[in-house]
Structure 1
Amino acid sequence: MTARAPGVPPAPEAPPSDARTGAGVRALLARLNTPAVRTRIGTLAGAVILAVLLWRLGTGALVDGLRRIDGPSLLVALGIGLVTTVFSAWRWALVARGLRIRLPLAPAVADYYRALFLNAALPGGVLGDVHRAVRHGQSTGDLGRGVRSVVLERTAGQLALFAAGAVMLLTLPSPVRDDLRQTAPLAGLAVLGACAVVLALRMNRPGPSRRGRALRSALAEAREGLLSRRNGPGVLVSSAVVLAGYLAMFVLAARVAGVGAAVTELLPLAVLALLAMSLPLNVGGWGPREGVAAWAFGAAGLGAGRGLTVAVVYGVLSLVASLPGVVVLVARWYAGLRAGRRTAAVTATTPPASAPAPVPVSRVRDASGRAPLAPDYASPPPEVSIEKYAPKESTRLARSSLPFSAEPSEGRPMTPESV
């Protein structure tokens, strides 16, 4: 054993191997639990699902679905998309009003169309909603409330889908009706038990914690935005109309694909496909929807290939219904470009501020009324120290260049990846 010199502190002991392994695992999980990594994993999962479907069922169902789409079906899809988008934007405006932020209906419709197109064109299926939330928060000067209004609006749509879907799957003939009827009582008891446990823990807690206060604040905003007397009826009606539009689009896709089943038989299959679309494992909405539709149609005796064809037609019709978002994107880009050119032109034509003319000393008198002996012009004022103000100016410029500053800037480009 080596003797340690006096006055020298002991060397720190190395952490055990288990602690190092645990720290490495936590660091890896932290790196994986980021929005960019989750988006890439979801995109990869959606691509794998599509590849497996095409491998098992072939490309005939895909080609057949694309071949059956015609002009009248595209026009009907555009009409259904217009109705669902307007009512979705109205729901968003109601929720925003409940959170005490202003959102007129016309800009809400335009922003919603843009978000729908970005959801369909970009991986992940939610980047358009992220873009919509951030831009609305920036334009109102409150990024937090802008994001929460979009989250609550999307939550209202999902709750309507879950409630109506549960009723349809339990009452109408579907491949999962018998299983749901057996598991529904157990699921209800499990939910009641979980609520009782949470209530007991909250009652036994000594004092309100920070997390508890945040939860109560979120619940209060949800209640004011979705369940208040002023917003509740409108949110309910708009959610019902939007869900009816999605189901009508699926029935239209089934008819275009040549499926002659009754509407009551198609509605549960449409609910299953819509529930699969809410999973974040897709490529612009493609992936789980096609897989679940192929399985559900096969279990219902309609053919897995026919289910894949219906899902493909539905995806194409939904993409066509979101194409007005391209017009909104181009119009906003052109407006920002014109605003930038106008600002540059005004800056170029504005003459620089001229320095004040020096005052002749002959016009400057002292207290006795006599002009002092001095050169023809007064000496210039002392120079201002640059070092004194340079840090403040650089700090101001750095703050004004932040991507999420409170000042709205319609001309500044922003992509959903910067969220």
Structure 2
Amino acid sequence: MSARTVRAPAAGESVPTARAGAASRGLPARLTTRAVRTRLGALAGGALLAVLLWRLGTGALLDGLRRVDGPTLLAALGIGLVTTVFSAWRWALVARGLRIRLPFGPAVADYYRALFLNAALPGGVLGDVHRAVRHGQSAGDLGRGVRAVVLERTAGQLALFAAGAVVLLTAPSPVRDEVRHAAPLAVPAVLGACAVVLALRMNRAPSRRGRALRGMLAEAREGLLSRRNAPGVLVSSAVVLAGYVAMFVLAADVVGAGASVTELLPLAVLALLAMGLPLNVGGWGPREGVTAWAFGAAGLGAGRGLAVAVVYGVLSLVASLPGVVVLVARWYAGLRAGSRTTTSPGARKDAYPRPSPSAAPAVPVASAASAVPPPEVSREKYAPKESARLASSSFPFSAEPREGRPMTPESV
């Protein structure tokens, strides 16, 4: 049980007033917990999606959903297979850089399960948390397992930021002018902030937090930037990002957006960047809002943009459905393993050691010396009582085995 510090009431202050003040000070701390932030983000994402549907209507959305057919679903499963396999490969590379074992086959299965949980649960990251904890526990190092997933996701985000900056600076988009005006100011600002942080770290005395930070940077360098891992991480991140863009283009083709791939590329980047915002319900919310605004600004129609974003979400959910198979298979395997453990006859037979046939109840020396021999009685008359005495001795089983099994008091 965790200890709690209770403030004593000041002079002239009543006990209920002191308790009310402590509760009011603890309220902001409770509101900033991860669980509360996840719920608030899910509510904000759901409210944003509801407002979009209310303002833009559901005509284009329902028309786009009606066009989703079998070949489209198969194409989504194929794109999802490619992106999941390359994402799992990147995860395995990062884990190898951190010197923890992660076979490729289980990595693909765990990644599928994480994708489905991300799409089905609020927040969009609970699946990644689950695979991080599971891998860390199975590898015997929870810290490195969690850091491997964090670095793997960081590699994907860095690839998206780098490619997105190039696309938004060069391709025609609703935000190209703003990005071009902000880029000359953003780059020196980032470099200056990094220089200030580095100078402060170099002039500060070594501390426990500083050593932990240097250890994390060393792990990031080994996991992402080492000569052995960097090419694989770069290739896998590029393929995964290309798969996400291909899924967005497929959704736009299903809806009938009537735009070329060059026109859709910056819009897809904006949608993918919006998916990283924490105000979502399994990825839904900001993606639809940004896509509707971007399509409207590009002259393609805000309602059509909302339909593209919703169809993209549906196709992404379909692409993650193999994760359901992984969940059911792991659950069934766990049930079978538990039933074999609890019903194994060998384990039940050997649960207790068998006593030696020659073992006899130990009698203290003093008691044996002072004991008065009982009078001679008929052995046949008291045979049942003797067997009852043997059954109620200090041993859990009788000393004489019967039919190859230890004798319990009920079998005597």
Does the C-alpha gap of structure 1 residues 240 and 67 become closer, same or farther in structure 2, counting only changes over 3 Å?
same
* Aligned position for 1:285: 283
Alignment of 1:256-275 (within 5 A): 256-275=254-273
Give, in whole Å, the separation in 2 of the partners of 1:225 and 1:216: 14
- Give CA deviations for 1:170-218 in whole Å, capped at 9, x if unaligned: 000000000110111111121122122212322332x112221111111
Give, in whole Å, the separation in 1 of the partners of 2:167 and 2:10: 65
Give, in whole Å, the separation in 1 of the partners of 2:12 and 2:237: 59
In the alignment, is residue 356 of structure 1 matched against residue 351 of structure 2?
A: no
> Do the aligned partners of 2:118 and 2:126 also contact (CA within 8 Å) in 1?
yes
**SS of residue in 1 equivalent to 2:259:** coil
* Aligned position for 2:376: none
Give, in whole Å, the separation in 2 of the partners of 1:86 and 1:299: 35
Alignment of 1:226-375 (within 5 A): 226-346=224-344, 350-351=348-349, 352-359=352-359
Alignment of 1:17-416 (within 5 A): 26-205=25-204, 207-346=205-344, 350-351=348-349, 352-359=352-359
Tell me how far 1:44 sits from its aligned partner: 0.3
Give, in whole Å, the separation in 2 of the partners of 1:181 and 1:95: 34
Give, in whole Å, the separation in 1 of the partners of 2:109 and 2:103: 10
Does the C-alpha gap of structure 1 residues 335 and 221 become closer, same or farther in structure 2, counting only changes over 3 Å?
same
Give, in whole Å, the separation in 1 of the partners of 2:187 and 2:222: 27
> Do the aligned partners of 2:61 and 2:304 also contact (CA within 8 Å) in 1?
no
Tell me how far 1:12 sits from its aligned partner: 5.6
- Give CA deviations for 1:17-53 in whole Å, capped at 9, x if unaligned: xx99996665222111212111101100111101110
Q: Give the letter for the 1:69 counterpart.
A: V
Give, in whole Å, the separation in 1 of the partners of 2:21 and 2:202: 35
Q: Give the letter for the 1:189 counterpart.
A: P
Q: Give the letter for the 1:171 counterpart.
A: T
Give, in whole Å, the separation in 1 of the partners of 2:222 and 2:25: 38
Q: Give the letter for the 2:188 counterpart.
A: L
Give, in whole Å, the separation in 1 of the partners of 2:24 and 2:217: 34
- Give CA deviations for 1:234-280 in whole Å, capped at 9, x if unaligned: 00000000000000000011001101211111000000000000111
RMSD of aligned residue pairs (Cα, Å): 2.8
Tell me how far 1:353 sits from its aligned partner: 3.2
- Give CA deviations for 1:62-106 in whole Å, capped at 9, x if unaligned: 212211111111111110000000000000000000010000100
Q: Which runs of 5+ in 1 are unaligned?
A: 1-10, 362-371, 385-419
* Aligned position for 1:387: none
Which has the higher mean CA deviation after the structures are superposed, 252-261 or 342-351? 342-351
Q: Give the letter for the 2:183 counterpart.
A: A
Give, in whole Å, the separation in 1 of the partners of 2:345 and 2:268: 57
Does the C-alpha gap of structure 1 residues 298 and 142 become closer, same or farther in structure 2, counting only changes over 3 Å?
same
**SS of residue in 2 equivalent to 1:230:** coil
Give, in whole Å, the separation in 2 of the partners of 1:45 and 1:286: 10
Give, in whole Å, the separation in 1 of the partners of 2:22 and 2:223: 42
Does the C-alpha gap of structure 1 residues 262 and 359 become closer, same or farther in structure 2, counting only changes over 3 Å?
closer
Does the C-alpha gap of structure 1 residues 63 and 198 become closer, same or farther in structure 2, counting only changes over 3 Å?
same
Which has the higher mean CA deviation after the structures are superposed, 24-33 or 185-194? 24-33
Give, in whole Å, the separation in 2 of the partners of 1:26 and 1:322: 43
Give, in whole Å, the separation in 2 of the partners of 1:349 and 1:24: 53
* Aligned position for 1:393: none
Does the C-alpha gap of structure 1 residues 194 and 360 become closer, same or farther in structure 2, counting only changes over 3 Å?
closer
Give, in whole Å, the separation in 2 of the partners of 1:202 and 1:141: 32
**SS of residue in 1 equivalent to 2:344:** helix
Q: Which runs of 5+ in 2 are unaligned?
A: 1-8, 362-368, 374-389, 396-412
Tell me how far 1:347 sits from its aligned partner: 5.3
Does the C-alpha gap of structure 1 residues 322 and 12 become closer, same or farther in structure 2, counting only changes over 3 Å?
closer
Give, in whole Å, the separation in 2 of the partners of 1:346 and 1:360: 31
Tell me how far 1:354 sits from its aligned partner: 3.0
Tell me how far 1:220 sits from its aligned partner: 0.5
Tell me how far 1:355 sits from its aligned partner: 3.0
Does the C-alpha gap of structure 1 residues 227 and 57 become closer, same or farther in structure 2, counting only changes over 3 Å?
same
- Give CA deviations for 1:281-317 in whole Å, capped at 9, x if unaligned: 1111111000000000000000000000100110111
State TM-score, norm by structure 2.
Answer: 0.82
Give, in whole Å, the separation in 2 of the partners of 1:165 and 1:304: 22
**SS of residue in 2 equivalent to 1:354:** coil
Give, in whole Å, the separation in 2 of the partners of 1:22 and 1:287: 37
Which has the higher mean CA deviation after the structures are superposed, 343-352 or 265-274? 343-352
Give, in whole Å, the separation in 1 of the partners of 2:219 and 2:138: 20
Q: Give the letter for the 2:62 counterpart.
A: V
Does the C-alpha gap of structure 1 residues 357 and 235 become closer, same or farther in structure 2, counting only changes over 3 Å?
same
Q: Give the letter for the 1:356 counterpart.
A: S
Does the C-alpha gap of structure 1 residues 312 and 359 become closer, same or farther in structure 2, counting only changes over 3 Å?
closer
Q: Give the letter for the 1:154 counterpart.
A: R
Q: Give the letter for the 2:57 counterpart.
A: G
Does the C-alpha gap of structure 1 residues 342 and 359 become closer, same or farther in structure 2, counting only changes over 3 Å?
closer
Tell me how far 1:348 sits from its aligned partner: 7.7
Give, in whole Å, the separation in 1 of the partners of 2:247 and 2:209: 42
